[in-house]
Structure 1
Amino acid sequence: MKRICAATVALTAAALLASGATAPARAAGVSNDGLFHQLSSARIADSRTGLGLPKATLLAGKTATLKVAGQGGVPTSGVSAVVVSLTAIKASAKGWVTAYPSGTTRPTTSVLNFPAGWTGATTVTLPLGADGSISLYAGSTDVNLAVDVLGWYSDATSTAALGSVFVPSDPERWGDTRSDGFGKLLAGEELYWEFPYPADATDSPSAVQVNITALNAAGGGWLSGVGTDGSTSSTSLVNFAKGETSPVLTVLPVRPTGEVDKAGDPVYAFSFVNGGSNAVDVLTDVQGWYYDDPAAVGLKHVAMTPTRVIDTRSGLGGPKGQLGTGSTRAFTKIAAAYDAERTAAIEGTITAANATSGTYITQWDGMATRPTTSNLNVAKRINRSNGMSTMLGWNDTTQSGEVSAYNGYGSVDLIEDVTGRWDATDAAMNPAAKGTNARTPASTSLERRPAPEKVTVQVRPVR
């Protein structure tokens, strides 16, 4: 039975970071380098059908090359990196997938780890090879793969319209169907948020970075995003199964609703839909925002060769040894992942391995109280990955950027691979654009954009 419910939650001003610098139009000399371009989710590869990849299971130890430039709305040139959802489909045994720019040496990293028989996805941002392609390597087992493109980052040569700057936020839980009165999201229902944004602002929100976790499902299914035109995507963002907790960090389009609130401010929305036939609980944790800003004051994406920066099995990035129950660990030796003068956040893949019990991992900059959110959920003895996007904390003692991670239960190894970072744009580094809320590291300071004071949350039938 379909139902319509509504509730209002108050949000703190700490939800968003960025400068309030404004400009009436695209400022002279503003570069498109590292700015984000949202796309409607489009499937560009499926090894089961031969779309984009050979029509065959990718064999263990083999590599497939996928052309991305010119596919699914990605331009043929001027692209520094792409955001894709990578899905492993019913692998015969446990394994992993490594993704990297074509024409480069395969790194010792992974973007997706999975158990036997599992179907699930992760979102990853990857630089493209010189031929506009990415390489996909199957480790230890044969697997079918599907790839959906969600967006792309431009480089300095791009002639496309100005993209969006990124503004990371402290992770904040915006929804939990277990406790907010909605009950499980039923088949065909949309989980929908709307909020006002100041009418006098010269920028506007264009997308939201969000960690979506599906759990307590009655059976298998999937969640799909809703595009800027309000239509539901035909591809999946999150795949879930009965008895499984499935997190995916992804990017959802933010769309104007055409309405205004009582103060005359325009109202924006983002949402996703239960596209399967089984009810499921959903956690929604907001981790950052993209803004259309003609002055490009904010953060730009810098594509990096996939690099492992944390591995508790070997002591890479911090102390060797598993994280114990209820323990927090700071990782301070990740200098290869950032530029101390400009970098505010890093992104890539987080993997939990060798868990002695079911648990969850929360990661943040370590500068404030640990957020009541999760980045990754993992079952006992099952290695699991998810996308990672984390602000850096600045350690005055070591004069370095760091992240902190918390483990809920049992003991678990933590592995992290960086595929990119977010650096302050030239406009954000301009002293005139700096505010008082100094983030890390070094000299980058960004004022907080006005956060929505009230966000209306609804569960409603898909229209």
Structure 2
Amino acid sequence: MRASRAAALAALVLAAGTVLPSAATASAAEGPQVGVDSTWFPVSNYRILDTRVGNGAPSGKVGPDGVVKLDIRKILGLTSGATPTAVVMNVTAVGATDESFVTAYPDGGALPTVSNLNVSPAHQVTTNRVTVQVGTDGFVDLYNHVGNVHLVVDLQGFYTAKGANGYPGATFTLGTPARLLDTRTEVGGHPGKLTGGEDGVFQMDVSSVAPGGGDLVVQATVTEPTQSAHLTMYPALQAPWRTSDVNFDAGQTVTNLSYVYAGRDGLALYTNSGATHVVIDYIGQFQNHGLSGDAGTHGLFVPANPTRVLDTRKGLGAPQAKPGPGSTTRVKVTGLNGVPEGVAAVVINLTGTNADQDGHITALKAGDPVPGTSNLNYAARQDTAAMTIVPVSADGFIELYNPHGTVDLVADVQGYYTN
């Protein structure tokens, strides 16, 4: 179900390197470790914060130890009794003056020792998808560690407690990881770079995973761009949306998890400038249960306080050593800070740091064959983060496969999906 901002939320109202934080042990913000079973309500992407123009906060860069508070309940037009359990946002940092990180967390709790976005003056624009629990007062906080930086936030959707608003919402179904498009090859039907402007829009066929369209979750990667620009994905045959899924500098390789709506005619891909290769990997999709159906018990999202489960720099969750070429790092993600055994998947923020060369990481269910997809792409001697959704084995593990080079890996759990 694709809801407009007004339609989806009216229903609720009527119903009621870079410096990375280090941790020697798993850490989380104060308050409940995990939230409640929740269902998904997508909204058409819209901008809820832009400190460059004073949208959502005073105009001006966020300073060192600065916190921007987002009144999610007010932004969505909800009553006090209809606070979402979590939101999904695209967070973009622009014009950072120092090596720093940005952390999103529920208002009212302690600042967690995790990060969502790693920023550097070397890149004018840095972006990452964020799933964050909403505070009981309806606020989400964004914290900047050092230096000054503009913050831009696009909202993609929200979760509410199952049945809390009289509508079932949508639940998440994991798919078989699959590469839908790779413009470096023939995969997906667009050999060659995507070119900027509306004349370069590519209408991508997604019928192999979503006949008739729907709300998809994909990992989108751009590589070898000729100019700084952004990639936007939206229903095929529509005019380009005025938001972005991936922001990138010239020559940069960037991956971002994207919640996209494909229409009956597929998914449109648009970049505003230059030319770039694009890779799209399928992760899963949301199943709509109509206006009066039952969401059931499978694929419900449970938000969690951000919890670090892996840091190879510190020996947390794995040996204290950089994973080398061809290595697989096995990570326990259940039984920690309220995440139970038997979950279907976890939402994690995965960071690569101290890499000796450019590379990528594939995240997968422990014990499964390594798919031909990627979840994180990083550059040598830079810290790069990407949110992703990873299926979990019956004994509570995921695996991170590194095909080449050496790199430290950090993983923070942000929530899970029920099995």
- Tell me what 1:234 maps to: 242
**Whole-Å separation in 1 of the counterparts to 2:323 and 2:37:** 38
Quick one: structure 1 residues 205 and 191, their matched pair in 2 at CA, closer, same or farther if it must change by over 3 Å?
closer
Amino acid corresponding to residue 91 of structure 1 in structure 2:
A
- Separation of aligned partners in 2, 1:305 and 1:270: 33
Residues 33, 272 of structure 1: CA spacing in aligned structure 2 closer, same or farther, 3 A cutoff?
farther
**Within 1, Cα distance between the matches of 2:77 and 2:226?**
35
Q: Indicate the structure whose relative CO is greater, using CA pairs within 8 Å and at least 6 residues apart.
A: 1
8 Å contact 2:334–2:340 — kept in the other structure?
no
Q: How far 1:44 sits from its partner (Å)?
A: 0.4
Answer yes or no: is the 8 Å Cα contact 1:45–1:51 preserved in 2: yes
Give the equivalent residue in structure 1 for 2:414: 419
Rounded Cα–Cα distance in structure 1 between residues aligned with 2:158 and 2:138 = 12
For 2:52 and 2:168, the matched residues in 1 are separated by: 37
Q: Which residue of 1 aligns with 2:22?
A: none
User: Which residue matches 1:280?
Assistant: 276
Q: Does 1:401 align with 2:396?
A: yes
Counterpart-to-counterpart distance in 1, 2:153 and 2:76: 11
Give matches, 1:209-220, under 5 Å.
209-220=217-228
| Counterpart check, 1:52 vs 2:56 | yes
Structure 1 residue 337, shift from structure 2 partner = 6.1
Match of 2:127 among 121, 125, 139: 121
The count of aligned residue pairs is 372
2:115 alignment counterpart: 110
Deviations 1:64-106, CA, capped at 9 Å, x for gaps: 2111223267776241110100000021122110110011111
User: Structure 1 CA distance, aligned partners of 2:383 and 2:263?
Assistant: 36
Amino acid at match of 1:252: V
TM superposition shift of 1:115: 2.1
- Conserved 8 A contact 2:206-2:213: no
Query: 1:337-365 CA deviation, whole Å, 9 max, x = no partner?
Result: 66445411000311001111111111101
How far 1:191 sits from its partner (Å)?
Answer: 4.1
**Where does residue 320 of structure 2 map in the other structure?**
320
* Contact kept in structure 1, 2:355 and 2:382, CA below 8 Å: yes
Counterpart CA distance in 2 for 1:215 and 1:364 is 22
State whether structure 2 residue 286 is matched by structure 1 residue 290: yes
Say if 1:47 and 1:55, in contact at 8 Å, map to a contact too.
Answer: yes
Residues 203 and 237, structure 2, Cα contact 8 Å, conserved in 1: no
Cα offset for 1:227? 4.9
Aligned residue in 2 for 1:373: 373
Aligned mates of 1:142, 1:156 — CA distance in 2: 39
Q: Distance in 2 between matches of 1:134 and 1:109?
A: 15
- Provide the rounded CA distance (Å) in 1 between the counterparts of 2:403 and 2:181: 20
Task: Pick closer, same or farther for the CA change 1:51–1:198 going to 2, 3 Å.
Answer: closer
Q: Deviations over 1:266-319 (max 9, x none)?
A: xxx333322x12111000001111111334243100011111111111121222
1:193 aligns with 205
Identity of aligned residues (%): 30
| Offset, 1:192 | 1.9
- Are 2:165 and 1:159 equivalent residues in the alignment? yes
Give the direction of change, closer, same or farther, for the CA distance of 1:156–1:282 in structure 2 (3 Å limit): same
Q: Secondary structure at the match of 2:336?
A: helix
Please name the residue that 2:358 is paired with: 358
Q: Specify whether residues 137 and 40 from structure 1 end up closer, same or farther in structure 2 by C-alpha distance, changes over 3 A only.
A: same
> Where do 4+ consecutive residues of structure 1 move more than 4 Å?
72-76, 196-199, 337-342
8 Å contact from structure 2 (residues 333, 398) kept in 1: no
Does the CA contact (< 8 Å) of 1:37 and 1:153 recur in 2?
yes
Larger radius of gyration between Structure 1 and Structure 2: 1
How far is the alpha carbon of 1:56 from its aligned partner? 1.5
SS at match of 1:69: helix
Cα shift at 1:165: 0.8
Tell me the distance in 1 between the aligned counterparts of 2:67 and 2:97: 18
Q: CA separation in 2, counterparts of 1:194 and 1:136? A: 35
Which residue, out of 84, 97, 103, partners 1:92?
97
Q: Structure 1, residues 417-436: CA drift from partner, whole Å, max 9, x if none?
A: 11111013xxxxxxxxxxxx
Instruction: Confirm whether residue 40 of structure 1 aligns to residue 44 of structure 2.
Output: yes
In 1, distance between residues paired with 2:361 and 2:210?
35
Q: Which residue of 2 aligns with 1:135?
A: 141
Aligned with residue 73 of structure 2, among 43, 66, 69: 69
AA aligned to 1:225 is M
- 3-state SS of paired residue (2:195): coil
